[in-house]
Amino acid sequence: MAKYTITVIPGEGTGPEIWECVQMILDASGVDLSYEYADAGLPAVEKYGYPVPPETIESIKKNKVCMKGPTTTPVGFGHKSANVTLRKALDLYANVRPARSIPGVKTPWQNIDLVGIRENTEDSYAAIEHWVSDEVAQCLKVITRPGSLRIIDYAFKYARAHNRKKVTVVHKANIMKITDGLFLNCGREVAAHYPNIEFQDLIVDNMAMQLALKPYLYDVICLPNLYGDILTDLMAGLTGGLGFAPGAIIGDNYAMFEAVHGSTPKYIGMKRVNPSAVLQAAIMMLEHIGEKEAAQRVYHAMCAVLAEGKKVTADVGGTCTNEEYAKAIVERLKAA
Amino acid sequence: MSHLNYPKPVRKIELVGVDVYIISPELPKLPKKVGPFHLDIISNRGLKVYPGPTPEALCVNWWRCRYKADSPITDKDVDNFVLELSPHFWWSAVQKLWNYDGEPGFTVAY
């Protein structure tokens, strides 16, 4: 029996082929992993009639940790989002989005090392929308004190655990004085318990500008759900785009690791989609289960292959398939 | 009043239920039936907590309780609904639920 069993949702589109690449690398990491496969998204809708079957939830509850590939959510109609369903069913409230410069990945900025901590269960995502007249639709933005305290406390705990120096809490309390004011005040309240970590608050539009102008000034950035949805993608754009953007969604009992990008169905079978985002999510997963040394080895092997630039995918100037890129990382791991 | 020359679509509007937001430290023990309405779903922060198993999730003291009608209803039925619940539950808001051209004009909790 393997030391760790991980629930794996390979996802849609190019998700399964990307997972094969990542599994190849994980298998070479020396960590004793086994995988329990589960459905979510469109395949689950076709099979069960809903995006996340109870078997998938039970598998994650049993194994505590899940690797999830991309799933598709129809825009404006159709089935509910598998992502949001999983987040809510497992109370995965902290979306952790590192954005770190990687050698060999050309971006306007170098030496960026940001972590976005996005609240992931409330705000305008509480699914409370109504047509209140035949020409007015409303969506309730729900900000709660317990929900705000726990995400901001998570951000400070994350900063402390990862030896980070500053937490920036983002809001629009100058306009939404009650809802965002609550989030900001929770930030001040939590910060008082972490005197060794610098606390800063910024209005969300200023935060966006600062990220474009001086991203190197920031460290851990904690945001409500909607601002976090937008600005964590901006942060990903600073460090190579969604092809290099991993995400973890963490709760008190369970954790899910995923790429942020979509399922890129037009590239199915072409083996050209860069698996680095899912690979970095897998590295976060290794850290989460306590395999920090293996996580570092895999990360350095990935960075070495990217910095060399010979066996990389087309999005970073190479000509290799994602399988060849994954094999190059495996070779690095074996040589280390 | 129309400021722009875009004709508003004519939609058939039908009252089908009511969302009542109740303040309670715990899941409120609501009547299953109130007049022509039946208790359909209770959610907390957008997550369904009734019927079915209670999820392992953070719940706050504000519950969206959805009652749907078993038969055609009027605004008067909503008035009576509020009068019946009000002495027993502390509520913050009531939102009528309408179908527009037969489609729900409201979202369903996760």
pLDDT digits (tens, 9 = 90+) for A54-71: 999 999 999 999 999 888
Question: Active-site residues of A: which are they?
Answer: 125, 172, 205, 229
DSSP-based helix, strand, coil % in chain A, nearest 5: 45, 20, 35
Contact A121, A147 (CB under 8 A): yes
Nearest Cβ partner for A127 among B8, B11, B110: B110
Name the minimum distance, in Å, from the CA of A93 to any CA of chain B.
Answer: 9
Nearest Cβ partner for A131 among B62, B64, B98: B98
A169-186, pLDDT tens digit by residue?
999 999 999 999 999 999
| Cβ contacts of B44 on chain A, cutoff 8 Å | none
Q: Where are the beta strands (DSSP E) in chain A?
A: 4-9, 33-37, 65-68, 94-100, 113-119, 129-133, 136-139, 166-171, 198-203, 220-223, 246-250, 255-259
- A215-234 average pLDDT score: 97
Q: pLDDT band for A75, please (50, 70, 90 cuts).
A: low
Whether B76 maps to a domain, the answer reads yes
As given in the structure block, the two tokens for residue A312 are 């990389």
- Tell me which chain A residue has its CA closest to the CA of residue B108: A127
Whether B69 maps to a domain, the answer reads yes
* Most confident region among A17-21, A77-81, A191-195 by mean pLDDT: A191-195
- A206-215 average pLDDT score: 97
Query: Is residue A84 within 8 angstroms of chain B, CB to CB?
Result: yes
Q: Count how many domains chain B has.
A: 1
| DSSP state letter for A76 | S
Q: Which positions ≥6 away from A58 have C-beta within 8 Å?
A: none
Nearest Cβ partner for A126 among B13, B46, B95: B46
pLDDT for the residue numbered B77: 97
Nearest Cβ partner for B56 among A91, A129, A150: A91
Tally Cβ neighbours within 10 Å of residue A223. 28
pLDDT average per 10 residues of sequence, chain B (110 residues): 77 96 97 97 92 86 96 96 97 97 90
| Cβ contacts of B45 on chain A, cutoff 8 Å | 121-122, 126, 142, 144, 147
A8-48, pLDDT tens digit by residue?
999 888 889 999 999 999 999 999 999 999 998 888 888 88
Contact B91, B23 (CB under 8 A): yes
Contact between chains at A80 and B110 (C-beta distance less than 8 A):
yes
Strand order in the sheet with A33-37: A33-37, A4-9, A65-68, A255-259, A246-250, A94-100, A113-119, A220-223, A166-171, A198-203
* Most confident region among A84-88, A183-187, A266-270 by mean pLDDT: A183-187
Contact between chains at A84 and B60 (C-beta distance less than 8 A):
no
| Cβ contacts of B65 on chain A, cutoff 8 Å | none
Cis status of the peptide bond prior to B51, with omega within 30 of 0: yes
Contact between chains at A144 and B60 (C-beta distance less than 8 A):
yes
Whether B3 maps to a domain, the answer reads no
Task: Give percent of chain A above pLDDT 90.
Answer: 74
| Lowest mean pLDDT segment, chosen from A78-92, A266-280, A318-332 | A78-92
Q: pLDDT band for A77, please (50, 70, 90 cuts).
A: low
- Best probe of the B interface among A131, A132, A154, A252, by most B CBs < 10 A, is A131
Q: Strands A255-259 and B37-44, how do they pair?
A: unpaired
pLDDT for the residue numbered A87: 86
pLDDT for the residue numbered A260: 84
Name the minimum distance, in Å, from the CA of B31 to any CA of chain A.
Answer: 22
The CATH number assigned to the domain holding B70 equals 3.30.70.1570
Burial of B79 (0-12, 13-18, 19+ CB in 10 A): exposed
Contact A224, A180 (CB under 8 A): yes
Whether B7 maps to a domain, the answer reads no
- Tell me which chain B residue has its CA closest to the CA of residue A123: B45
DSSP output for A206-275: HHHHHHHH-GGG--EEEE-HHHHHHHHHHHHHHTT-GGG-EEEEE-SS-EEEEESS---GGGTTS--S-T
| Cβ contacts of B97 on chain A, cutoff 8 Å | 130
| Lowest mean pLDDT segment, chosen from A204-218, A219-233, B41-55 | B41-55
Whether B49 maps to a domain, the answer reads yes
Whether B93 maps to a domain, the answer reads yes
Task: Give the domain extent around B50.
Answer: 18-104
A314-323, pLDDT tens digit by residue?
988 899 999 9
Contact between chains at B11 and A134 (C-beta distance less than 8 A):
yes
User: Is this complex's ipTM strictly greater than 0.90?
Assistant: yes
Whether B110 maps to a domain, the answer reads no
| Cβ contacts of B98 on chain A, cutoff 8 Å | 131
Rounded to an integer, what distance in angstroms lies between the CA atom of residue A294 and that of residue A14? 26
Q: Which positions ≥6 away from A235 have C-beta within 8 Å?
A: A97, A99, A114, A116, A211, A215, A221
| Cβ contacts of A132 on chain B, cutoff 8 Å | 95
Name the minimum distance, in Å, from the CA of B58 to any CA of chain A.
Answer: 7
pLDDT for the residue numbered B102: 94
Domains (ranges, CATH) in chain A? 1-92+251-336 (3.40.718.10), 108-238 (3.40.718.10)
